[in-house]
Amino acid sequence: MKAEQIIPILRIFDYRKTIEFYVDWLGFEITFEHRFEDHTPVYMEVKKENIILHLNEHHGDSTPGSSVFIWGEGVAEYHKELIDKKYKYNRPGLEKTFYDAVSFTVNDPFGNKIIFNEKYNEERHRDIEFYSVD
């Protein structure tokens, strides 16, 4: 079997907080939303470039506290963009990891983590100031 795409499903609990975090802060766009009826849980897809996540309010379809690990490019620049927005609930550090990556982790309002990573390149990343946030 060859996978064409892998899309994590993350548990969410509050539509407004979901939009504030994923759309307003992280810069994802909503691709679709589905509800069986008005005032029922939402199942939605958000996308940022080629990163696609499914976000789900339905009980039992996914587990809160999950982690998504993403390899990409432009991680330090994306980190700066997020820090410059001064989102009061998240100020992730930027680290050089033991697996030789530039990395930062964001924690959504529902206990899920998204870990953004880029392979460390001495020439490209030499001027980055790495720091952790406790």
The pLDDT > 70 percentage for the chain reads 99
Q: Provide the residue range defining the domain that includes 16.
A: 9-125
CATH number at residue 118: 3.10.180.10
125, containing H or E segment: helix 122-125
Tell me the per-residue pLDDT of 73-99, one tens digit each, with 9 for 90 and over. Answer: 999 999 999 999 999 999 999 999 999
Q: Is 118 among the domain residues?
A: yes
- State how far Cα 21 lies from the chain centre: 9
Give domain status of residue 3, yes or no.
Answer: no
> What tokens does 49 get?
């470039």
Is there a domain that residue 133 lies in? no
Q: Sorting pLDDT into bands at 50, 70 and 90, what band is 12? A: very high
Residue in 75, 70, 10, 76 with CA at minimum distance from that of residue 44 = 10
The pLDDT of residue 133 is above 80? no
pLDDT tens digits, 62-73: 888 999 999 999
Q: 71 in a domain, yes or no? A: yes
The pLDDT of residue 106 is 98
**Distances in Å between the alpha carbon of 12 and those of 15, 66, 124?**
8, 11, 36
The predicted structure's pLDDT at residue 71:
98
Domain count, the chain: 1
Q: What is the three-class DSSP state of 30?
A: strand
**Cα distances (angstroms) measured from residue 5 to each of 2, 46, 50, 61, 79:** 9, 15, 10, 19, 25
Cα gap 130→94, rounded to integer Å: 5
Confidence of residue 30 (pLDDT cuts 50, 70, 90): very high
**pLDDT higher than threshold 60 for residue 134:** no
Is the pLDDT at 50 greater than 80? The verdict is yes
Residue 85 is classified by DSSP as: T
Q: Say which DSSP state 13 is in.
A: S
Average pLDDT, the chain: 95
Q: Is the pTM of this model over 0.85?
A: yes
